[in-house]
Structure 1
Amino acid sequence: MTTKNLLVELFVEELPPKALKELGEAFAATVAERLKAAGLVAKTTVSRYASPRRLAVHLTDVAAKAADRRVTQKLMPAAVGLDADGNPTPALLKKLAALGKDAAVVPSLKRQLDGKAEALFLDSVLPGMTLQEGLQAALDAALASLPIPKVMSYQLQDGWTTVHFVRPAHRLVALHGAEVVPVAVLGLTADRKTQGHRFEASANPVVIREADSYAEQLEAEGAVIPGFAARRAEIERQLQAAAAREGLVPIADDALLDEVTALVERPNVLVCQFEKEFLDVPQECLILTMKANQKYFPLLDAAGKLTNKFLVVANIRPHDPAAVIGGNERVVRPRLADAKFFFDQDRKKSLIDRIPGLAKVVYHNKLGSQGERAERVARLAHMIGERLGSAELANAADRAALLSKADLLTDMVGEFPELQGIMGRYYALHDGEPVEIADAIEDHYKPRFAGDGLPRNDVGLCVALADKLETLVGLFGIDEKPTGDKDPFALRRHALGVLRMLIEKELALPLDELIEAAFAVFPTGMLRDARGELMSFVFERLAGLAREYGHTAQEVDAVLSLQPMRIDLVPKRLAAVRAFARLPEAESLAAANKRVGNILKKAQGIGLMPKVDPLLFEKEAERALHAALVSVGQEADALFELGDYAASLSRLSALKTPVDRFFDEVMVNVEDARLRANRLGLLAKLHQAMNRVADLARLAA
């Protein structure tokens, strides 16, 4: 079967930049998958293309027609399809007619057992799908399944037909080798013509000779780099080169780089600058306004400090770029002036003077204002500060928490909500607040995302913990918990933040006490009792976090099934369980522990001996197990209390021989009630000794 390479391009008006990369990947993937399902492609190399005005895909080794397929189709039971003389019944003839067959095929039908009765089967050959048929179906499926952020409606040139798509489409190219594949979508019929750059293309339209010349022709004749990845790499190369010539470094931002890649077809990086007086404004403000509003790349010096130079990615390459550079410098100046104005105005009023205004800002209609929330967080932060340090830390955490939301009322944060906390730190320093309080105001939002850093000082830790716990308890208490993949209040992120701080900062704060304290700062009757639900929610996040740290599901289950409240000690427990699992005695002890647990579960209600009586032992195996429990158990308990969980579990390995002997020689459920209760009591002591670090039964296969 001969094959040729295939190219498909849909030329449209400017696509939404933040969605372009995903649109290009989805378009190419669906076309390739559907052609493979149709038998038109076996092994192929898929090349994806996505520019501001086109989605395209190139596939190697595509057949003009899929191979014919032999199929066997069950028709009906033989008793229904044939009469006593073997002639076809009307039911069979009707079935054959529906398949385009007649009575002539009856002698060739197969009779085979289908379950307990014979059935009739028809062997036939299904003709392979042509490329035109397969590509038409693939394109229809690809356009229908594109992850379009918002659909547009527009009319075709006939003035009547309405089309729904992400942007109006103007051309369709479909080439199998050098031949046009006659497919049609969105009112367009395929040919070999496309368009290049709006202003710099040397040919218009660009006539694609064959599938393999597409990228080369677009770049040479159309002044367009069609591949998203190739265009992105070229922009990154130019950014680094331009910055190096200035002795500076461009700010690293993958999301911005992707967005700019989706905005230009022929990138040209130029160096611009603004007046140095604007550098008096906090650099976060300037960086954000340049990136968010203008899509510029700020330039930093070797120390990471913002300079007054920046890079712009133009979509044209004029011989003299002075006009382009000057235009971008004029555009950015008012933005920076606005930032400077906001900064100057905000500093005229201190954060402490803004706090009364928080009473007018609604946090949640069931949880009150931001002012009430700040007071709750302050009380909780004060308590955490007392537990972690001293009255001095508690008072500092209290003040930082009260001030933490005041910057929400500033003009700068009103314009750039992403700067909340960051601007609070600058304004606190301007107001003369201690550095540790200013840092805590910024850090109390941390960690804001996976991999984000934690608060840099103890005051920040207190406020960050309090803020996240107040959020979790408050929203669970009004039944605003996450459902499915919906988490509008980012409660999963808040729970992970609490866990990361407890673990990575090794904070000796029991989780149940923290949650109880958080509930206590809310007015009586405001919340329903959601302690159990919240605890389960947090432990689910902890299980996921532990698996991310590289622990197996069995190890995690063994430790967390006990719901240890000292979250900071969970990593040590997990490490101890992993070390125990490597011991030769581990498998046998885990199985024995599981057996003991099942025996004790069945014995509930029968009654155990509250204190094991050695005088009731009848067999040497009972005495040996009891003696081992006394010596080994005490040593393991002592090591547990010292926090040496690995050594504690390792010491339990000495119980393997007496435990095995006990189950080999001793019957637990005997008729004598006192003897049975004594043996159950002995097993209860064994179970307790073995399951202080983790439920070892969860390690049993």
Structure 2
Amino acid sequence: MAELLFEIFCEEIPARMQKRAGDDLVKLMDAGLKAAGLTPNGSRALTGPRRLTYITDVETRSPDVSEERKGPRVGSPEQALAGFMRGAGLTDISQAETREDKKGEYYVAVLQSEGRDTADVLTDLIPSVMGDFPWPKSMKSGDTDFRWVRPLRGLTVLLDGTSLNGITVGGIASDNIVHGHRQMGPGPFEVSNFADYQAKLTGEGHVMLDRDARRERVLDQAKAVCAEAGLDLVEDAGLLDEVTGLVEWPVALLGDMDPSFLELPDEVIRLTLKSHQKTFTVKGADGKLTPNFVIMANLETPDGGATIKAGNAKVISARLSDAKFFQDQDRQKNLIDYYDQLDEVVFHKKLGSVRDKAARVAALAREIAPHVGADPDKAELAAKLAKCDLVTQTVIEATSLQGQVGRWMYEAEAGFDADVAVAIEDHYKPQGPSDAVPTNPVSMAVALADKIDTLVGFWAIDEKPTGSKDPFALRRAALGVVRIIISNSVRVSTLELYLEHAQNHYRNTLFASGDLQDFLLDRLRVYLRDQGQRHDVIDAVIAHGGDDLLAISQRVEALGVFLSNTDGENLVQGYKRAANILKAEQKKGELELADFDTLSGFTAKPADTLAKALTNTRPAIDTALESGDYPAALSALADLRTPIDAFFEDVVVNSDDADERGRRLALLSAVVETFHRIADFSRLDG
């Protein structure tokens, strides 16, 4: 095996694209080498602001390949022989060998394919990989049509210590020259293998090649400069990843800002520093923010970073001054005073303005409030206020603070209500699978109303998600409804909410409530599978019907537990045997069953015992289901196992007596129907 080193050197690659690009490079290079008959081993990628590097071990030549292709029988028609020769690349049938089996002789073409030098493979592969590279965005530069994420500056290809010169991509020819840090070690450096490459770039070149090591250094240095000042870093995983992709040689610096800016909410300060200067915020021992920031420089400077810190402090001061000005301007009015301005913001051209949506949500939140234990007046007020901050200058400048700004503004007013304040901020939640779910009753009412209005509205105008597109995040809205209801044990008929809301606000549209309910149930399926529930158990319960998401979730959990033991599985086998017999009889013709409630006079004792057991069990099941005690319903169902087993062991269903046969089939039908009161057991696997 030989070492292969392939570096692509270019202008700065956006930080968010680097990790994915490294994974894609490994995938594409490995696939190309394997397609050529080679076996890359230990492939990995190094990524940074200006380079993608692929390293692997691979053979220096692909193996020769011998392939046998079986052809027609000797003496076959000319047309068959001609097709065989054409496919095998033969010019005459005499070039084929003949073999013999029990049926006689037949032709075999022995195809020999010589291996290729890996260097030749790479000469073709590298331009192909780079030409088809899946960048989210790319650009042309220079005089060629080649596209790359940023202008290409160099290619280095080393195989077994030999430089493969002359592989040309985008007008750039490969060589064994690499370049280091722009200021601290630009090079150029001539390299002979990966160890040499790593040593020169990490040493004289001042480039940390490994992303994980660079990330660790960024975090360690940031914490260290804070600790020296008796402070703590406010960690931010997203910012850490981004900064890691911006620097080749991390150098942490602790800067200062005007303490008066600490009057701003912490979230405003953190967002401003993060989004504009890619800097970390700092806190003291009391957990409160301090007038400091950590900037990650990309070089060591003679003045110890003083100029860099001063420059960043100047920009941060300007940005925070803007934020303070916007907040002061916004707070000159109460939050409700912005309500009418929402009419100037279009929610959707077919669904009106944001004010229209706020009015719909307020009405629906009032209806939902009793279901979640919230005060209807508070829910209605919170829903009216929830969108008002969208037209404030603070949110216009920093949209990710929507909801939070509204809460801060409302809490600054005299006589604010704490429940309403929390609902203003939390009504957007949950915005993703890892986002927290609202637990305050008023928040729950407004959050549910907001998401349900979105779903009903877009269904009403026939703007539904497709398999690949969901521009209005309707799947996220539906999953939010599911999570809020189940996490907070909310009992509510979602179908009734859809229908009533559509009737009140979308009367002139054709609203497919069943279609929307199916969409919501699909999200419920996803949620329950993520919770570890069996897919067939989920299907069995959902197929039973109902639109109470909490009840469905609890049935799924109870049935899953019931089926996790041997008794439950054995009972299901008895159900399936009864269902299969009925299905077979149905295929013979229309099955006429007697009314179970009027059945009597079973000649076989096991049949009579089963009938009595059903008579006693079904009321207990119904009572448990009405109270939502699904484990109790299944426990009652389990009482049928012994009489069902005894029935199938001793009773022949297809009796010669037609009346007796009918009664026994009716008995089995009653067994199946009893199971179906809980779930559609026919959907269960096994």
Fold conserved (TM > 0.5)? yes
In the aligned structure 1, how far is the partner of 2:545 from the partner of 2:604?
A: 37
Residue in 1 aligned with 2:376? 394
In the aligned structure 1, how far is the partner of 2:146 from the partner of 2:132?
A: 15
Does residue 637 (structure 1) correspond to residue 633 (structure 2)? The answer is: no
Deviations 1:540-574 (A, max 9, x none): 11111111111122222222221343322334322
Residue in 1 aligned with 2:202? 219
Does residue 173 (structure 1) correspond to residue 156 (structure 2)? The answer is: yes
In the aligned structure 1, how far is the partner of 2:675 from the partner of 2:380?
A: 43
Does residue 655 (structure 1) correspond to residue 640 (structure 2)? The answer is: yes
In the aligned structure 1, how far is the partner of 2:454 from the partner of 2:656?
A: 57
Residue in 1 aligned with 2:255? 272
> Are the equivalent residues in 1 in contact too, given 2:528–2:538 (CA < 8 A)?
yes
In the aligned structure 1, how far is the partner of 2:660 from the partner of 2:83?
A: 77
Q: 1:431 aligns with which of 413, 427, 446?
A: 413
Residue in 2 aligned with 1:255? 238
Does residue 133 (structure 1) correspond to residue 130 (structure 2)? The answer is: no
CA gap of 1:247–1:492, structure 2 versus 1, over 3 A, is farther
Q: 1:65 aligns with which of 45, 54, 61?
A: 61
> Are the equivalent residues in 2 in contact too, given 1:218–1:225 (CA < 8 A)?
yes
Q: Which 5+ residue runs of structure 2 have no aligned equivalent?
A: none
> How does the TM-score come out when normalised to structure 1?
0.90
Correspondence list, 1:147-296, <5 A: 147-156=134-143, 161-182=144-165, 183-201=167-185, 204-296=187-279
Judge which range, 422-431 or 208-217, deviates more: 208-217
Judge which range, 534-543 or 650-659, deviates more: 650-659
Residue in 2 aligned with 1:122? 109
- Please tell me the residue identity of whatever aligns with 2:393: D
In the aligned structure 1, how far is the partner of 2:450 from the partner of 2:114?
A: 66
Q: CA deviation at 1:423?
A: 0.5
> Are the equivalent residues in 2 in contact too, given 1:447–1:453 (CA < 8 A)?
yes
Deviations 1:332-384 (A, max 9, x none): 11111010011000001222111112122211111111111111111110011
- Please tell me the residue identity of whatever aligns with 1:13: E
**Counterpart secondary structure, 2:212:** helix
> Are the equivalent residues in 2 in contact too, given 1:12–1:54 (CA < 8 A)?
yes
**Counterpart secondary structure, 2:187:** coil
Correspondence list, 1:464-479, <5 A: 464-479=447-462
Residue in 2 aligned with 1:9? 7
Correspondence list, 1:82-97, <5 A: 91=82, 95=86
- Please tell me the residue identity of whatever aligns with 1:543: R
Q: CA deviation at 1:430?
A: 1.6
Correspondence list, 1:432-451, <5 A: 432=414, 433-451=416-434
Residue in 1 aligned with 2:676? 691
> Are the equivalent residues in 1 in contact too, given 2:372–2:444 (CA < 8 A)?
no
Q: CA deviation at 1:594?
A: 3.1
Q: 2:388 aligns with which of 385, 406, 415?
A: 406
In the aligned structure 1, how far is the partner of 2:474 from the partner of 2:101?
A: 59
- Please tell me the residue identity of whatever aligns with 1:581: L
In the aligned structure 2, how far is the partner of 1:323 from the partner of 1:614?
A: 96
Does residue 45 (structure 1) correspond to residue 42 (structure 2)? The answer is: yes
In the aligned structure 2, how far is the partner of 1:494 from the partner of 1:249?
A: 37
Residue in 2 aligned with 1:416? 398
**Counterpart secondary structure, 1:200:** coil
**Counterpart secondary structure, 2:379:** helix
In the aligned structure 2, how far is the partner of 1:693 from the partner of 1:473?
A: 30
**Counterpart secondary structure, 1:39:** coil
Q: CA deviation at 1:482?
A: 0.8
In the aligned structure 2, how far is the partner of 1:462 from the partner of 1:303?
A: 35
> Are the equivalent residues in 2 in contact too, given 1:613–1:678 (CA < 8 A)?
no
Q: Aligned pairs, how many?
A: 680
Q: CA deviation at 1:102?
A: 6.3
Judge which range, 239-248 or 444-453, deviates more: 239-248
Q: CA deviation at 1:94?
A: 7.2
**Counterpart secondary structure, 2:140:** strand
> Are the equivalent residues in 2 in contact too, given 1:177–1:212 (CA < 8 A)?
no
CA gap of 1:102–1:363, structure 2 versus 1, over 3 A, is closer
Q: CA deviation at 1:20?
A: 1.8
> Are the equivalent residues in 2 in contact too, given 1:250–1:298 (CA < 8 A)?
yes
CA gap of 1:48–1:532, structure 2 versus 1, over 3 A, is same
Q: Aligned residues: percent identity? A: 36
- Please tell me the residue identity of whatever aligns with 1:634: P
RMSD: 2.8
In the aligned structure 1, how far is the partner of 2:285 from the partner of 2:227?
A: 11
CA gap of 1:435–1:112, structure 2 versus 1, over 3 A, is farther
> Are the equivalent residues in 2 in contact too, given 1:153–1:163 (CA < 8 A)?
yes
CA gap of 1:634–1:95, structure 2 versus 1, over 3 A, is closer
In the aligned structure 1, how far is the partner of 2:100 from the partner of 2:222?
A: 71
> Are the equivalent residues in 2 in contact too, given 1:590–1:700 (CA < 8 A)?
no
In the aligned structure 1, how far is the partner of 2:104 from the partner of 2:367?
A: 78
> Are the equivalent residues in 1 in contact too, given 2:131–2:146 (CA < 8 A)?
no
**Counterpart secondary structure, 1:585:** helix
Q: 1:385 aligns with which of 369, 372, 375?
A: 369
In the aligned structure 2, how far is the partner of 1:179 from the partner of 1:282?
A: 59
In the aligned structure 2, how far is the partner of 1:212 from the partner of 1:352?
A: 66
**Counterpart secondary structure, 1:79:** coil
**Counterpart secondary structure, 2:408:** helix
Does residue 562 (structure 1) correspond to residue 544 (structure 2)? The answer is: yes
> Are the equivalent residues in 2 in contact too, given 1:26–1:142 (CA < 8 A)?
no
- Please tell me the residue identity of whatever aligns with 2:644: V
> Are the equivalent residues in 1 in contact too, given 2:3–2:55 (CA < 8 A)?
yes
Q: CA deviation at 1:408?
A: 0.8
In the aligned structure 2, how far is the partner of 1:215 from the partner of 1:642?
A: 69
Q: 1:581 aligns with which of 539, 558, 563?
A: 563
In the aligned structure 1, how far is the partner of 2:506 from the partner of 2:245?
A: 51
> Are the equivalent residues in 1 in contact too, given 2:15–2:242 (CA < 8 A)?
yes
Judge which range, 652-661 or 484-493, deviates more: 652-661
> Are the equivalent residues in 2 in contact too, given 1:439–1:456 (CA < 8 A)?
no
- Please tell me the residue identity of whatever aligns with 1:384: I
> Are the equivalent residues in 1 in contact too, given 2:72–2:84 (CA < 8 A)?
no
Deviations 1:42-73 (A, max 9, x none): 5x22231122111111113x222112122223
**Counterpart secondary structure, 2:410:** helix
In the aligned structure 1, how far is the partner of 2:22 from the partner of 2:345?
A: 43
Judge which range, 363-372 or 122-131, deviates more: 122-131
Does residue 351 (structure 1) correspond to residue 335 (structure 2)? The answer is: yes
> Are the equivalent residues in 2 in contact too, given 1:379–1:398 (CA < 8 A)?
yes
**Counterpart secondary structure, 2:4:** strand
**Counterpart secondary structure, 2:390:** helix
Deviations 1:409-438 (A, max 9, x none): 101111111111110101111223212111
- Please tell me the residue identity of whatever aligns with 2:430: P
In the aligned structure 1, how far is the partner of 2:600 from the partner of 2:345?
A: 73
